[in-house]
Structure 1
Amino acid sequence: MEECYEKKHIRSEVLNIALPVLVELFLGSLFGMVDMMMLGRIENSKIAAASIASVGITNQPLFIGLSLVQALNVGGTAMVARYIGSRKNDRIESVVKHVVLLNLILLVLPIFIIGIFFTEDIMSLLGAQQDAIMVGKNYFKVIMVGFIFQAFNLSIAAVLRGAGNTKTPMKINLRVNLINVVGNAVLIYGLLGFPKLGVVGAGISTCISHIVASIFLARHVLKKDDLIKVSLKTPLKYDKNIIYNLIKIGVPASLEQVAFRIGILLYVRMVASLGTVVYATHQICLNILSLTFTPGQAFGIAASSLVGKSLGADDLEGAEEYIKESRKIGSIISSTVAVIFFFFGGKIVGLYTKNPEIINEASTVLKIIAFVQPFQSSQLIIAGGLRGAGDTVWTLVATFLGVMVLRVILAYLFVRVLGMGLVGAWIATFVDQFVRWIVIYLRFRTNKWKYITIR
């Protein structure tokens, strides 16, 4: 009876943290899909395809920046969770300030400057065709401004989630995503007397939504939150222990993201070389794939927070149970999504475009995506738990082997050598996800992650 109660309690805690994140990420991905559909419905089909392709290409360097920010945030999440578990709440404010300022100085401002001054060079390097560069260069500049605020938002959300507060980021993100969708419609198509700006309008709307989110989040941590309290009157004092923890956890996480993004950039160049229409098809598939990441990411965040708190309280068995329960629920959800994609892929792609060539090829890719789902979800959730424990070295190993080595080599073989086109590129993605799952799962089974310490 007691064991049954304990399992229900674990499930309840996992769901309390994961469900708000799941709703936030799912609706955020859905809004992103709507944005892409709006671009795909621009009257001139060539401009529509170039707009979609330019968004996909310009998002790659943006994602590099955001990934590095998130890597540093991993340390913030792990520390906040550990300090709460060990009742050292007085250290949390210093963690928040260190994470935000280090992100701004070391990552955000340098990436912003490079993005603004080398826009066309970056797009060309990524394999963008001239039509995509002409349509997308101003969009790139606008989203780089939004990147400053988006990075701040990610840092604050990370420490809130470390404390188990996932409802606040959810509520704020849902509001600003709604603002973004309405703003996109108005500025892309020139509604309500506004100019018709196309893809640049989408960038402006996105930038405004990030600024609004920053205002909401800053107001929350300055005035409202019980655990994450920040005072502008209290001066930041350099804390070598926090810096040590951020380096110990954040450096492998940063290298993981660098390996991931370099691998993805090489992969994207191969896909982009197939032409603008094929790349637009690929971008639509990625946009739909983003929806399938949500269960793994949501339950990975839940596992990260709960594992950190458990290890902070020296509850090693509880930490393992939280990972197992998170993986179980997340896998059920992702498998359901896989079935939908396998049987109804064509109808989903039809929401983006009327081009029969794109619909046919993207439908085939969605069937491959369906098979990816169980492995993708499981490795995302277990990896989230390992990061909550501060074990970021093995997630680095898995990503380097899966993305940098296997995905890139196999994509080259399938796309360039065997001429399998876009389908070949996505088969390489399946192999990558499967291998990453094996590495992460084997690391989890060793139990060595339970004994990683932080200062």
Structure 2
Amino acid sequence: MNKNAYLISLITLAIPAIIENSLQSLVGFVDTLFISKLGINEVASVGIANNILQIYFAVFMAISTASTIYISRYTGAKEPEKVKQTITHSLILTIIVGLLFGLISWLLAENLLKLLGASDEVLSQGVLYFRIVTTPSLLISLMYTLGAILRGTGDTKSPMRVGIIMNVAHIGLDYVLIFGVFFEGFGIAGAGAATVIARLIGVILLFRSLINKQLITTVFSYWKLNINVFKGLLNLGLPTGFERLFMRVGQVIYFGMILRMGTEVYAAHTITGNLTIFATIVGTGLGVATTTLIGKSLGANDSEGAKKYAKVSIVITSVSMSIISVIMFATSPWIAPIFTTNATVISLIIIALGIDTLVQPAIGTVSAYTSILQAGGDTKFPMYSTAIGIWAIRTVGVYVFGIHFGLGIVGVRIAIAIDNYVRAGFLYYRYRSNKWIKKLNIGSLNTQ
């Protein structure tokens, strides 16, 4: 194929994933908008709860990423038995982890929020919201894995269709349960309930898609525990999970620092995050397509094709994310007042988005390289890169620039910028070495 063919294949597969991620971000946007009408403490409450949720997402994403990598490889190699056994063992692992995190959420909700330094006003609302949305963590874990299974086979349209239905339902439920229609609304508790119901709808529909595609088997031998399959998933999943955990735990720590800078600074940071997510979702969608196509190419022993997909992904991801960032900054004077009437918060949001336009080229590059290396089976190097970037650069930088020098949100964004440019350099070095292309094989399977 020529370069245009690789580009078209990547974009074609990425578009449904981008649409799906866009809908999820739209729900987050609307959710924040609705909650902002309740008050600034409610915004901070949801922001803190969601910061902890990011750690949960990191664990669930580890399982789903490992599943996608193996399934795409075995799909490309035309080994349906290994595809099915990878699916069954991914689901078993997902259910165990989802139930465990649900129990932790119920028992330790207040302690976890206190760890972030939540005030008494924020704590009461935050614990309520956190328990509602995280006790059924099984739904979250299944959402990740079921979608990853479909994407690993090259089907990004089914998750998109499920996402449309789920997110439309979420927005409607959000309004009704937060504000009420013929009854008094439930406020922040209603926002949490709407999220849970929408996830339940999504899980049911994703299961139906897998059944229709005959990706879930009732043959017992595929469900019989096979240590080789679990080892394969863990070998890829653990570094991926730690990579996300290094990122999220670091965020929890420096978000705590931001919270101590004042409620206005924290609210501005939270709202800015909901705006910059529109650039991130494009990178995530392209990352999904990149992982799948490189995995299939390597499964078919086409390493040159994998490298060509990688080159196209790097350029298109960085450029597209940068363009979206510029658009968000240009429109921020009109968008920011939608979320708050606080003049200080609005000003801080505009400043933060302005700095982000200078950072997005690096963020896009990091996103592309991470997907490429993970698709090749090299999940450890992104983990090392993130550990250094988040802990040695970003978290320290937030304290030095944001607190020590008193630069506030400007200092926070400077620290984020330095982190991403340094990580981009690390990942580029690994990519150029070609050591990211690994041979993967779960091993012999007994499916008789």
TM-score by length of 2: 0.95
Letter in 1 for 2:316: I
The answer to whether residue 216 in structure 2 is matched with residue 220 in structure 1 is no
Report Cα offsets for 1:127-152 as digits up to 9, x if no partner.
11111112222111110134221210
Q: What residue is the counterpart of 1:51 in the other structure? A: 42
Instruction: Give the distance between the partners of 1:450 and 1:278, measured in 2 at CA.
Output: 43
Please report how far the alpha carbon of residue 370 of structure 1 lies from its aligned counterpart in structure 2 after TM superposition: 1.4
Report the Cα offset of residue 101 of structure 1: 1.3
Q: Deviations over 1:392-438 (max 9, x none)?
A: 01110111011122001111111221111122112111111112211
1:200 aligns with 2:189: yes
| Displacement after TM superposition at 1:283 (Å) | 0.7
Instruction: Answer whether contact 1:156 1:217 (CA < 8 A) is retained.
Output: yes
Give the whole-Å Cα distance in 2 for the aligned partners of 1:27 and 1:156.
18
Distance in 1, matches of 2:219 and 2:337, equals 50
Q: Report the equivalent of 1:303.
A: 290
Q: 2:54 aligns with which of 63, 67, 74?
A: 63
Which residue matches 1:125?
115
- Determine the C-alpha separation between the residues in 2 that align with 1:55 and 1:451: 41
- Cα distance in 2, alignment partners of residues 318 and 376 from structure 1: 25
Structure-2 residue corresponding to 1:249: 236
The correspondence for 1:104, drawn from 95, 98, 103, is 95
| Counterpart contact for 2:10–2:309, Cα < 8 Å | yes
Query: How far apart, CA to CA, are the structure 1 residues paired with 2:183 and 2:323?
Result: 41
Alignment match of 1:157 (pick from 147, 164, 172)? 147
Tell whether the 8 Å contact from 1:75 to 1:246 is kept in structure 2 after alignment: yes
* Counterpart selection for 2:130 from 140, 164, 169: 140
1:281 aligns with 2:277: no
Give CA-to-partner distance per residue, 1:283-334, whole Å, 9 cap, x none.
1011112221112111111110111111111111100111111222222321
Per-residue deviation at 1:387? 1.0
Secondary structure at 1:450 match in 2: coil
Cα distance change on mapping 1:451 and 1:92 into 2, 3 Å:
closer
Q: Does the aligned pair in 2 maintain the 1:172–1:216 contact within 8 Å?
A: yes
Percent sequence identity is: 30
What amino acid is aligned across from residue 71 of structure 1 in structure 2? Answer: A
- Written as runs of structure 1 = structure 2, the 5 A alignment for 1:248-397 is 248-397=235-384
Long gaps (5+) in structure 2: 443-448
Contact 1:50 1:280 in 2 (8 A): no
1:329-357 per-residue CA deviation (whole Å, 9 max, x = no partner) reads 22232121122123222222122112111
Separation in structure 1 between the aligned mates of residue 260 and residue 238 of structure 2, nearest angstrom:
33
State the aligned residue count.
Answer: 442
The amino acid of 1:205's aligned partner reads: A
Distance in 2, matches of 1:138 and 1:338, equals: 34
Shift in Å at residue 110 of structure 1? 2.2
Q: Distance in 2 between matches of 1:379 and 1:126?
A: 27
Q: Which is further off, 228-237 or 63-72?
A: 228-237
Partners of 1:265 and 1:296 lie apart in 2 by 23
Counterpart position of 2:445: none
CA contact 1:345–1:367 (8 Å) conserved in 2:
no
Amino acid at match of 1:437: A
- Which among 26, 29, 41 is matched to residue 30 of structure 1? 26
The answer to whether the aligner puts 1:91 opposite 2:87 as a matched pair is no
What is the RMSD computed on CA atoms of the aligned residues? 1.5
8 A Cα contact 1:383 1:440, kept in partner: yes
